[in-house]
Amino acid sequence: MSAPLGNLSVEQFLNRCWQKEPCLIRRAFDDFEPLLDGNDLAGLACEEMVESRLVRGSMEKSDWTVGYGPFDDSVFSSLGEENWTLLVQDVEKHYAPLQALMAEFSFIPNWRLDDLMISFAATGGSVGPHTDQYDVFLLQAEGRRRWQIASSFEPELLRDCPLNVLQRFTPEQEWVLEPGDMLYLPPNVAHHGIALEPGMTWSIGSRAPSGADLLQGLGEWLSFSADEGGRYSDPDLRPAKRAGEMDAEALRKLRQLMLARIDESDNVDSFLAAFMSRFRLAHEPAPPPKPIRSKDLHAAIQNGAQLLCNPWTRLTWINTPQGARLFAAGQAFDCSTSLAEILCQRDQPAIEVAMLDKPTLDTLTKLINKGHMLLTSDA
């Protein structure tokens, strides 16, 4: 498998660096030509559907401010020449040709990748020294940026600051990245990028749900089910010893009841895959889907069904005794593992479900806006 890892093979990178230590890859992309520029990014940041931030300030003055998009384009003419950075999330979803860049990182399982965030910084532009909870590949796309990093640092953040900026930061290593160079950082390595001239850094970021995210999602998922998972029972109850106390045995049994509900059946695997197949900002609780059956999926595909693309949809699948259960934006399809694999290999995530005979444009638009992948026979 070829990957933009310089002299490192994928195995060497994963064994030595991934989640372990920073890694600088000079000329990861030879003659890198960015498919969009600062003006394109500013245009995106003016759009309603786009998540963007404008950070101003410098480390010397600790005068950080942050504004959130959508912006009026007049903002950009008032920014001046120095000390600002415009950051836009999910750019590959807004501009489909960038999916090809994401495909370069397919040595990481697709459900572990999140988005392409692009920052355009004026000279001196920076978001301050900070840490992230995610692995990130920082690809220098235009201009030069100095990156300083430290694996040991004091975690205190600046007070009364709208950004998470470390109070103190002593770099252990630093490099100037030129276009095509890439710096990989595992989570929790402090880093500070400062633009030496106007330019862009493209961050290919990973997705790592927290236990709390998963539990919240699982609770919502289970709440749609009629199966309560049994009730607490205590046929061996003894007289209460101390008023109000929940004793150790009661706590053990309650915990057991809860864990058994989580553990039972294959439901949890389906929950996990459905959860990861949704866009990270899809916060609406989603009920467990009714999987579309393998034979219906095959029949639809044989009848010329098309997969329409909605880049917010993420495709992922799990192995089941019958084959694969494929998830797309929280919807489920049963199919063969080979079909699941083929569908997931597409450059652009294909979209969802709903086998509609004669979908109207209105129905399609509504489904797509909901982040669904659309499998139709005549779209």
Residue 4 binds: one of Co ion, ligand SIN, none (C-beta under 5 to 8 A by kind): none
Piece of the chain touching Co ion by CB under 5 A; list 3-11, 42-50, 126-134, 228-236? 126-134
- What's the CA angle centered on 73, arms 71 and 78, to 5 degrees? 100
Residue 201 binds: one of Co ion, ligand SIN, none (C-beta under 5 to 8 A by kind): ligand SIN
**Contact between 178 and Co ion (CB under 5 A)?**
no
- N-to-C CA span, the chain: 35
* CA 373 vs CA 16, 50, 139, 214, 272: distances in Å: 37, 20, 30, 23, 18
- For Co ion, give the closer residue by CB, 148 or 267: 148
Give the number of other CB atoms < 10 A from CB of residue 89: 22
- For ligand SIN, give the closer residue by CB, 121 or 286: 121
Which residues form the interface with ligand SIN (CB under 6 A)?
85, 119, 127, 132, 136, 191, 193, 201, 203
Piece of the chain touching Co ion by CB under 5 A; list 63-71, 125-133, 144-152, 311-319? 125-133
> What's the closest the beta carbon of residue 281 comes to ligand SIN, in angstroms?
18
- Tell me if 24 sits within 8 A of 183, measured CB to CB: yes
Work out which of 37, 40, 82, 132 binds Co ion, going by CB under 5 A.
132
Q: Cα–Cα distance between 314 and 103 in angstroms, integer? A: 13
- For ligand SIN, give the closer residue by CB, 193 or 359: 193
Q: Cα–Cα distance between 267 and 263 in angstroms, integer? A: 8
> What's the closest the beta carbon of residue 364 comes to ligand SIN, in angstroms?
36
Q: Is the dihedral of CA 370, 323, 207, 8 positive or negative?
A: negative
The residue nearest ligand SIN at its CB is 119
Residue 193 binds: one of ligand SIN, Co ion, none (C-beta under 5 to 8 A by kind): ligand SIN
User: CA 341, 346, 347, 348: dihedral to nearest 10 degrees?
Assistant: -110
Angle, helix 211-223 to helix 267-276, in steps of 10 degrees? 120
Q: Cα–Cα distance between 343 and 348 in angstroms, integer? A: 10
Angle, helix 337-345 to helix 294-302, in steps of 10 degrees? 50
- For Co ion, give the closer residue by CB, 82 or 132: 132
> What's the closest the beta carbon of residue 363 comes to ligand SIN, in angstroms?
39
Q: Cα–Cα distance between 29 and 48 in angstroms, integer? A: 32
- For Co ion, give the closer residue by CB, 48 or 156: 156
- For ligand SIN, give the closer residue by CB, 120 or 275: 120
Residue 203 binds: one of ligand SIN, Co ion, none (C-beta under 5 to 8 A by kind): ligand SIN
- For ligand SIN, give the closer residue by CB, 8 or 127: 127
Residue 83 binds: one of ligand SIN, Co ion, none (C-beta under 5 to 8 A by kind): none
Q: Is the dihedral of CA 256, 257, 262, 265 positive or negative?
A: positive
> What's the closest the beta carbon of residue 106 comes to Co ion, in angstroms?
23
Task: Sort 266 into a burial class: Cβ within 10 Å, 0-12 / 13-18 / 19+.
Answer: exposed
Residue 93 binds: one of ligand SIN, Co ion, none (C-beta under 5 to 8 A by kind): none
- For Co ion, give the closer residue by CB, 37 or 132: 132
**Contact between 148 and Co ion (CB under 5 A)?**
no
Residue 127 binds: one of Co ion, ligand SIN, none (C-beta under 5 to 8 A by kind): ligand SIN
> What's the closest the beta carbon of residue 373 comes to ligand SIN, in angstroms?
30
Task: Sort 134 into a burial class: Cβ within 10 Å, 0-12 / 13-18 / 19+.
Answer: middle
- What's the CA angle centered on 110, arms 181 and 329, to 5 degrees? 135
- For ligand SIN, give the closer residue by CB, 91 or 367: 91
Residue 85 binds: one of Co ion, ligand SIN, none (C-beta under 5 to 8 A by kind): ligand SIN
Residue 91 binds: one of ligand SIN, Co ion, none (C-beta under 5 to 8 A by kind): none
Q: Choose among 163, 227, 182: nearest CA to 5.
A: 182
Task: Sort 354 into a burial class: Cβ within 10 Å, 0-12 / 13-18 / 19+.
Answer: middle
Tell me which residues touch Co ion (CB under 5 A): 132
